[in-house]
Amino acid sequence: KTARLSYMITKELQDSLQTVEEQALETLVEHICNAGRIFLTGAGRSLLMVKCCAMRLMQIGLTAYVPGETTTPAIRSGDLLIAVSGSGETDTVALMIKKAKAHGAETALLTMVPDSTMGGLADLVLVIEASSTKVADNSGKKSIQLGGSRFELSVLILLEIIVMQAAEKLHIEDPNQLLMQNHANLE
Residue 79 · residue 100 · CB < 8 Å: yes
Catalytic entry in 12, 106, 129, 152: 152
Q: In what order do the strands lie in the sheet with 106-111?
A: 64-65, 38-41, 80-84, 106-111, 124-127
Residue 8 · residue 148 · CB < 8 Å: no
- Number of Cβ within a 10 Å radius of residue 128: 22
- Number of Cβ within a 10 Å radius of residue 79: 21
Our answer to whether residue 152 is catalytic in this structure is yes
Would you name the residues annotated as active-site residues?
152
